[in-house]
Structure 1
Amino acid sequence: MKNILLSVTGCFLLFLSSNINAQLLSNGNITSGLADTNYFMDASNFEGLANKSYGRGLGFPRTDLTSFVFNKATASDEVVVSDFDGMVVYNSATGNTTAGQGVTTAVVPGFYYFSNPGNPGNITNGKWIAIGGNSGGSSDKINITSNETATHTLINNAQVYAVKGTFAASGTSTNVDIPSPAGMKGMYGITIYKAGSNTVYSRDLYSYTLGTANGNAVTGSQSMSVVYPAGTYDYVLEYLK
């Protein structure tokens, strides 16, 4: 009961501070007339305004999901009962979400919701998911660079990462250098190609040894090793940590 009273008091103080500091504004009076309905909020009455540009938008504060940190102290029965599942933000940054704030995820500017069903009291397995068409019309678009990038793929809830690199082939040896990124525990896939040539050489290796030793990768397929012509090759390595 004490916690409930504190919560009610806190909400009242928040309401006062919102009005005093003008942090929350409305385009008219707010009334409580939706009891026993499916709505928690409704603004459809604005359709009756003569100016059809008024009362149509919902303003979101910009959120940088690459540095955003949940205040997990509010995740209780009296304050946030959803464990942030379904929370919506407008993200203004490009990069990866903050480590320890659910599954690390690549994000671009746009709307995201936090998916965290069935995880009472924690956010470990929660993930920010793009709403609609972020970044040029595709919410599935990520930019893989020489820096570690979290992809949109999970395997048994384990995040798949990707990194872009190059290696030099001697033309006489099948051994090439494809160093393992820090923390890599297993390869998920690899694509070897030459940028600008429209040529994909392989989506496989004959063998791969975790680590950063010279010649840790052997070019070819699972059945045989192959000597690549001398030159520089591009690759995208997908992996688990």
Structure 2
Amino acid sequence: MTSTASSTPIALVTGGSRGLGRNAALQIARQGIDVILTYRSRADEAQAVVAEIEGLGRRAVALPLDVARSGTFAAFAAQVREALARVWSAERFDFLVNNAGIGIHAPFAETTEAQFDELVAVHLKGPFFLTQALLPLLRDGGRIVNLSSGLARFALPGYAAYAAMKGGVEVLTRYLAKELGPRGIAVNVVAPGAIETDFGGGAVRDNAQVNAFIASQTALGRVGVPDDIGGVVASLLLPASRWINAQRIEASGGMFL
């Protein structure tokens, strides 16, 4: 499936040590795909995911990466190149999942410039320039999946800055699909609804009132869980999804219809 020495496809998942990224990495591995995952600070969490993936019979490597520090991306790409050669005897990987992110909840009138800049660095500048840095290592005919949010479609107070970044990611996805099309690379964006994780302080998971409100506004009558998202991301990497391109796939159970 690849044009490299590796006969097994390889996916790179940013923020793959926890939350939706961890679930996506595991779901991807279950589809017979090896994984390079990144983590920002918790190497122990990342190695635990590596062990889980290896338990599924796949190979995995965890590499440190702070997506807010674009100045480190060239060095990170060199680390990826080294890992590909060392573990897979390969020069290219097949799939890039731009998942890493943070949550900042602040009313528009109270959002600080520092908060705004941090969201830009992590959610917009990060995926833009990381993808750029990794393009030489991404094989022709590969796939890119970016992560957005249902908040780019519907509006909830306190997420103006965060949602604006995700709107930018959705536009970027279409441009990547257009410009990388000559290389046969398909690019899509997955927009999760509210999910029970520790994201943004874990309010959706831990606050019963918030959880009940979201469930009441969701057609399927409950709040999402990580398993509802990881499988969607993994499915976009499968051969049967090769003709899906430049699309926004919302996985929200039907929030705010």
Same fold, judged at TM 0.5 (above): no
Whichever of the two has the greater Rg, that structure is: 1
Point out the structure with the larger strand share.
Answer: 1
Q: When the two structures are superposed, what TM-score results if normalisation uses the length of structure 1?
A: 0.25
Point out the structure with the larger helix share.
Answer: 2
Q: When the two structures are superposed, what TM-score results if normalisation uses the length of structure 2?
A: 0.24
Higher relative contact order (CA 8 A, sep 6+): 2
